[in-house]
Each structure stands twice: as structure tokens, then as C-alpha cells.
A and B are shown apart, each in its own frame.
Chain A
Amino acid sequence: MSSGWAIAAAVTIGFPIALIAYVRLSEAAVNAAARGARTAERMRVALWLIPAMIIIGTVLFYPLIQTIVLSLQTKDSAFTFDNYAWAVTDPAQVRSIVNSLLWVAVVPVMVLVVGLVFAVLSDRVRYEKLARLAIITPCAISMTASTIIWASIYRYSPPGTAQTGLANALYVGITGNNPIAWTIQQPLNNLALMLIGLWAWMGFAALLLSAAVKGIPVEIVEAARVDGVSEWQLFRHITFPQIVPTMGVVLTLLVVWALKVFDIVFVLTQGNYGTAVLGMNIYSQLFVNQNPYRGSTLAVILLVLALPIIWLNLRRIRRDVGV
């Protein structure tokens, strides 16, 4: 057995054993040391939190702090804001930030709208399961494979030759115009890339929203119908308000995903032709230019852009659970 397998086995088996042992030991410590029930409870909470804090601190906070520290350094300087100045003045970086924001503005909204339409309409048909299966299928395909499928759809052949890409076959067949280089022609190419995100995520959104629609109490819907509301009024005043919390969850997840998007761009254009996003440039700085300082700076900017979304989500969760 190689050392890699031995380590994996030791961690897989050893970690739960160590955790159980820790819990038992901490319980013994609580029983031995605590005098009152309240003190025992406080001790237990503190002791049980320690392993989680250590793990989170090791895998989350330490790298986060390290990333922030690196973002404030260059190879010649221990503390500088040069990287940030570069990130907000270098045209290529500004372009990537703008593109990332464009993804955040467009993709979640597109996915949400399509998912919502699907959820509401599919709830009214007998073959709902089949329709759901069809829309969820792209979720089962890895993003890289999805992008390769779409590369075939966007394939371009010279004018006058057979268009083997579906998009150009349809476009040329319907309009009679010359084919379009979907992945190159700006700014259309960014939308073409985003469409892949829509295709990949709409099933996920539809599934969650569909569950939310089904969760609306039947009595409310029935009462509304008895009162003679139209379909639109039913959606506007009953369905929509009831599924807003789920839409919030979906939107949050999609915004965070859109901010982090990398695979679609990397596979299809490698960030060329004005399609670079923050994730792509972080990769380039870290692994191609081997510049951890600038790579970390872009990562921190990505984090800062995501923070308001995370904050809003936390606030919503607290409100929902009444904390």
C-alpha cells in the first residue's frame, strides 16, 4: 500500500475515532469539573466547539488571513497597496472585474426567471416528472463536459460550408446570413458563455422553486380560486410571495457561483476575446505567472464582492429562524 493510501485510511478511520474519544473525554471532564447544570452546559458547549474551531481556523481562517497578507505584499515589499492599485487600473483586470459583475447581474436573473417559469408551469401538467427530468439533466453533467458540449453547439464553419454547430445551423438556416463566431464576437460571446451557465443551473433552480410552489398550502390556492382570482393574480399575490424565501436562497447560491465562474471561460475561450473573469485571472496569476501576490489580491477582491451577498443571506437566515 502506498503512503498516500495509508494516510487516507488513517485519516478516514482515525479521525472519527479521535473525535469520539474527544467527546467522551470532554464529557468526563465536564462531569468531573462542573458543579451546577448551567456551568456544565457552558463547559460542554465550549469543549465541543473547540474541534470545529480548530478545523475551521485551519482550513478557512488561516488561508484567508494568509491570502490577505499576500495581497498586501510584492516580492520586494512587505507591505504595499501596489497590487490593489494594479487590480483597479490595469485594463485587463478591470475588464475581468466588470465581466464578473456582468455574470452576477445576468446569470442569476436569467436562471431564476427560467426556473420560476418552469416551476409554476410544470406544476400544472401531468408529465411534470418527465419535464423535470429533462430540465435537471444538465445538472448531472460536469461543468467542463457541459462546456465541451456547448463548444460543439457553437462550432463555426466558414460561410458557404455545412454548419456542423447547432447554433449556426439554426441561425444560417433560418436567417440565411453568414454564420456567427459565437465565442469570439464581442460582446455576444459573453452572453454565449452565460447561456451555458443558464443551461447548467436552470434545473437546480427549477427543482428548488418547484418544491417551494408545491409547499404552498392548497387551502390558500383554493380559497383564492373560489374568490375568482385570475391566474396572474394568483401568481402575483399568492404564489410569488410564498416562494420569495426560496428565491433568495437560489439567488444567493447563483450569485456566488457566478462570481466564482472559471471552468466555462477556461474551457471555451481561456479568457481571450474580452471574456476574462476574476476566477480566470486568479488562475493565470497564480499558476501561469506564478505570482501569488497578485493572485491573492484578485482573490480578496472576489471575496469582497461576495461579502454583501453572504451578509444578506445571513441576515435572511437569522430573520427566518427568528434569531
Chain B
Amino acid sequence: MNRQHVRGIAGWRRSRSIRAGAALLLAGVLAACGSQGATPTAASGSGSSAAPAQSFTFDPKLVADAQKAALDAAGGKSDLGGTVDFVWGTGGAENDRLKALLQPFTDATGVAVNVESVSNSGQVIQTRLQAGNPPDVALDTSLGAVQEYYRTGKLVPLDGFIDKSSFAQAFGQGQADAVTIDGKLYAIPGAAQGVEVWYNKKLYKGPTENVSYPQLVQWGQDELKAGHPAPFCINLEQAAASANNAFVQIDNIMAQEYGADFIHKLGTGDIKYDSDQVKTAFKNYIDMFSNGLVYGGANAALTTPIKDAPLNLFTDPQNCQLVMWGPFTPGIITAANPNLKPGQDFDYFQLVPSNAGQPSSFYTWGWETFAFSDSPQTQAFMKYWASKEFQSLVASTGAYVMANQQVDLGVYPNDTIRGIAQDQRQSDVVIGPYGLEPSSVRNVVLSAIMTSVADPSQLDGELEKIDQAYQTFLDGGN
């Protein structure tokens, strides 16, 4: 007998609940998909990382110069051939742009560059190292990572084929020292990103000249009392890299307030996170989320993508007035709002020290390229990467402020990015904890920031954890 025949009427009545359940499930799926696409900030803010593949065009003269530099780097061998495996952590449009920037190298030398973008590049490189299959070349935003790879004994010194004195001349002695370990050159700085304070030129009425962080906070509190929009937008969500913007913001604040030497020592573990100055800097920053200075407070900050923050300057009504972030901010703004022009619709200013006697620092966190092979192809690639010509080509995109100080300021495509490059050259460039700490410590700092933003009472304990993690690293691990 068929089972259908023995079903009772009662069973048919129960079908309503199933129908309702199925409908709810489908509604959930559709709503989830719908909300993803319907969120204006998520869709519009994806310009830097989620845009579809696109073609890039560069100044032909810069391309020709880059090709010549590539040929020189290959010792004049236009048929060098072979491949270079390159791993880094940035995808989407930036990855496409990098491939386009490396095309002159391939055209001039015949060396194919296999660019692999993986979001957790540090872990991928470590795993490949352990498997005995490291990439030829990799890029990381941390000098601490370079130190970690140096410890493995697999990192290739570059001074066998790159002249140290001309390198120091091009990048400045400070940056040359930063990438030198035990007297040997191990990495090439690429971009030297800073942290600027961005604002909507048509709406922002606050201070822009010689503003220190305490002054900015005071101004923000006055704005709140006056019932104006929230002073700051700080979003922290970015999967495994969540809160990295907060990390560099705090670094920059400390660089201005306590000086370049202080944050350098903090980054190398010579100053503890448990020190009063660091505690004060972190507390003041974390407090901004709970006292109304940050749009949406802690919950919104912790759950909203980092890249959406600058878009809040242009909402109607305006959600917030200032965003502290790097030179790539204009790219994010203009990708979402193509009609907006840097310098015309939005601009930036740099924070300065509270103490007028203290020199201001250009804080950066590095963008280091290093090699695990010393094949002729890799040597040519590294020489090309360090060349003024390649770094000029990158600078011409307007997405990065380059570390090579021989890059002609004229190649930057607009006054805004050119201004940041000028700031970099006129200040002490200092790499702070974000760029100096090993990934194990950096991860604890990121977690400490998120935990403390969610619950400020945990700040002291979290800072102690950072010191413990650094001590463990300095002791060579457990």
C-alpha cells in the first residue's frame, strides 16, 4: 500500500507550518542576498578591492623608462625569460593594477611574473616556507614579517646585486637602515603610506592648520555639544585584518605626541605597552568610541567595513566630519562618487605634535618586498622594483606615496597625493609598531583594540597581553 494513503487529515493540516517554514527560509535567503546588494556603503565602497578586472593605461614615457630600467636590471638580456612567483595580500582592482605595473618588466626581459593574491599572505608564505616551496618574491606590510622570515634563514640578502650606498641615497638612510638586518639589505620599501585626516571641503568648518590630536578631540567635543554631526568615522571590520586602521591611527597619534624615537622603540619592544604613555594614548583613543566622538559608537565601528568610513563624509545628512586614513582614501571616495575631486571636494591635513618644540614625524608602516630566491630572474625583478622608474610608474597611479625619494613629485597625478609625498620628504619618516612588530604581536594588538573598543574596562589587561606576546617572540617562541 502506498504511504500516501495512510496519511491522516491531521497531517495535511500540519502542512501549514511546513509551508510557513519553507517560505521563511526562502525569504531569509533572498533577504540575505538582497541586503548584501542593497547596502549602499558595502557596494559603493568596494572600489579598491572588489572592482572587476580592468585595463590600466600609464604615461607612455614612464612605461618606456620602466622598460629601460627593467632591461638594465636584467643586465641587458631582453631574452632572459623564466618566471618569478610573487605573493602578496591585496586582491581585486589593486591586484590587476600591480599586474599592469609589472608588464613593462615582462615586456623588456621576457620574465613572466606570476602574481598570487592571498588575503592571508603571511600564513601562506609561512606554510610554503615550511613545505620548502617559498615564492620567489613576496610583499608584506610589516618589517616584523621580514624579521620573522630572516629567522628562518631562507631570506635572500639583496646587497649582492643591489648597491647599498645608492639604495640609501634613493630611499633615505632611515628606510635603508630599517630594511637592513645584521648589516645586510633584505627588503625594498615600496609605498610609504601615512595617516592623514580627511574631510569634506564643502561641509567641514573645523581646524586644518597645525592641529594636534588633543586639539582635535577638544574640537570634537565642542561639536558634539553644538549638536553637529559626529566628529569621526572609524570603522574597524575587515575580517582577519580588522582594526588595522585603528592600529595605524594610534601609532600616528603616538608618533606626533611622543616622537619618532618613542614609537620606534615601542615597535621594537624596547618600550612596553604597559607604560603610562601608551596606556594614555590607547585610553584616549578607545574612549572616543564610548563618548560619542565616533559615528555609531563601538557597535557600529566594530561591525562596519573599514573601507566604508570615508563615504560617510558625503552622506546627506553628513554622518561624520573626519576620517583618519592613508593616501588611498581618495581612491575609495572617487570610486564610490566619481564626480568628487580631490583637493576640490575633499582634502586632508596632517596631525602635528602638541609640543611645538617637537619635530613632526611622517608615520608609515611599510610595504616591503623581499626575496626567497636569488635566481637571475628574481635579481632582475628586485632591481626593477627598487628602481626610480618603476616606483615612478606606481606613483603615477595616485594610489600610493612611494618610498623612493628620487621619484619626481611631478609624476603624482594630483596636488593632494603630491602634497602627501611632499609631507613625507619634509618630515622624519618613521615606521611604527604596525610595521615593525611580528605578526604574532600585531595580531594581539588588533585583538586588543577590538576587545577594548567593545569593552573599555579590558584595556589594561589587553595591553599586558601584547607585552607578553612580544616577550614570547623575543624569547624565540615557546
Q: Do A and B come from one complex?
A: yes
Determine the chain B residues whose CB is within 8 A of the CB of A28 once the complex forms: none
Give Cα A214–Cα B148 distance, bound, in whole angstroms: 59
Q: State which of B17-25, B170-178, B216-224 sits at the interface with chain A.
A: B17-25
Minimal beta-carbon separation of B473 from chain A (angstroms): 8
Minimal beta-carbon separation of B335 from chain A (angstroms): 20
Interface bracket on A? 35 or more
Interface residues of A in 109-162 (CB under 8 A from B): 118, 121-127, 130-131, 134-135, 137-138, 148-150, 152-158
In contact, A124 and B22 (Cβ under 8 angstroms): no
In contact, B14 and A121 (Cβ under 8 angstroms): yes
Given contacts A152-B36, A155-B39, A222-B1, contact A124 B451 (CB under 8 A): no
Minimal beta-carbon separation of A297 from chain B (angstroms): 10
In contact, B35 and A270 (Cβ under 8 angstroms): no
20 A-B pairs besides A127-B19, A156-B299, A156-B304 with CB distance below 8 A are: A121-B17, A121-B18, A125-B14, A131-B18, A131-B19, A134-B25, A149-B36, A152-B35, A158-B300, A164-B38, A181-B303, A184-B299, A184-B454, A270-B242, A272-B242, A287-B122, A289-B469, A289-B472, A290-B126, A291-B477
B239 contacts the other chain (CB 8 A): yes
In contact, A270 and B25 (Cβ under 8 angstroms): no
Determine the chain A residues whose CB is within 8 A of the CB of B126 once the complex forms: 287, 290
In contact, A74 and B478 (Cβ under 8 angstroms): yes
Closest chain A residue to B241, Cβ basis? A270
Minimal beta-carbon separation of A320 from chain B (angstroms): 24
Give Cα A288–Cα B469 distance, bound, in whole angstroms: 11
Minimal beta-carbon separation of B78 from chain A (angstroms): 24
Given contacts A218-B6, A270-B242, contact A287 B32 (CB under 8 A): no
- Out of B3, B7, B123, B450, name the residue touching A272 (CB < 8 Å): B450
In contact, A130 and B302 (Cβ under 8 angstroms): no
Residues of A within 8 A of B (CB): 74-75, 82-83, 86, 118, 121-127, 130-131, 134-135, 137-138, 148-150, 152-158, 164-166, 179, 181, 183-185, 199, 214, 218-219, 221-222, 225, 231, 266-267, 270-273, 284, 287-291, 293-294
B141 contacts the other chain (CB 8 A): no
Given contacts A155-B35, A266-B240, contact A288 B123 (CB under 8 A): yes
Determine the chain A residues whose CB is within 8 A of the CB of B450 once the complex forms: 272-273
In contact, A152 and B39 (Cβ under 8 angstroms): yes
Minimal beta-carbon separation of A34 from chain B (angstroms): 44
Determine the chain B residues whose CB is within 8 A of the CB of A123 once the complex forms: 3, 7, 11
Interface bracket on B? 35 or more
Give Cα A135–Cα B19 distance, bound, in whole angstroms: 11
Closest chain B residue to A226, Cβ basis? B6
Give Cα A126–Cα B4 distance, bound, in whole angstroms: 9
Determine the chain A residues whose CB is within 8 A of the CB of B31 once the complex forms: 153, 166
Given contacts A124-B15, A158-B296, A158-B300, contact A150 B451 (CB under 8 A): no
In contact, B35 and A153 (Cβ under 8 angstroms): yes
In contact, B26 and A134 (Cβ under 8 angstroms): yes
- Out of A125, A126, A152, A293, name the residue touching B478 (CB < 8 Å): A293
In contact, B10 and A231 (Cβ under 8 angstroms): yes
Residues of B within 8 A of A (CB): 1-3, 6-8, 10-12, 14-15, 17-19, 21-22, 25-26, 28-29, 31-33, 35-36, 38-39, 42, 120, 122-123, 126-127, 148, 239-240, 242, 295-300, 302-304, 439-440, 443, 447, 450-451, 454, 469, 472, 476-478
- Out of A122, A231, A267, A270, name the residue touching B18 (CB < 8 Å): A122
Give Cα A183–Cα B236 distance, bound, in whole angstroms: 14
Q: What secondary structure prevails in chain B residues at the interface with A?
A: helix
Give Cα A231–Cα B13 distance, bound, in whole angstroms: 12
Closest chain B residue to A267, Cβ basis? B239
Given contacts A124-B12, A152-B32, contact A181 B302 (CB under 8 A): yes
Determine the chain B residues whose CB is within 8 A of the CB of A179 once the complex forms: 299
Give Cα A273–Cα B148 distance, bound, in whole angstroms: 28
In contact, B478 and A225 (Cβ under 8 angstroms): no
Determine the chain B residues whose CB is within 8 A of the CB of A122 once the complex forms: 18
In contact, B127 and A272 (Cβ under 8 angstroms): no
In contact, B36 and A288 (Cβ under 8 angstroms): no
Give Cα A177–Cα B122 distance, bound, in whole angstroms: 42
In contact, A289 and B302 (Cβ under 8 angstroms): no
Determine the chain A residues whose CB is within 8 A of the CB of B239 once the complex forms: 267, 270
Q: List 13 A-B contacts (CB under 8 A).
A: A86-B478, A123-B3, A131-B19, A131-B21, A134-B22, A155-B303, A158-B297, A166-B28, A183-B303, A184-B298, A270-B239, A287-B120, A288-B443
- Out of B18, B32, B122, B300, name the residue touching A125 (CB < 8 Å): B18
Give Cα A70–Cα B333 distance, bound, in whole angstroms: 49
Q: Of A150, A154, A214, A270, which is in contact with the most chain B CB atoms at under 10 Å from its CB? A: A270
In contact, A150 and B300 (Cβ under 8 angstroms): no
Give Cα A184–Cα B452 distance, bound, in whole angstroms: 12
Determine the chain A residues whose CB is within 8 A of the CB of B477 once the complex forms: 75, 289-291
Q: Which 6 A-B pairs have the closest CB atoms?
A: A124-B11, A158-B296, A181-B299, A125-B15, A287-B123, A149-B32
Determine the chain B residues whose CB is within 8 A of the CB of A267 once the complex forms: 239
Give Cα A82–Cα B477 distance, bound, in whole angstroms: 13
Closest chain B residue to A203, Cβ basis? B25
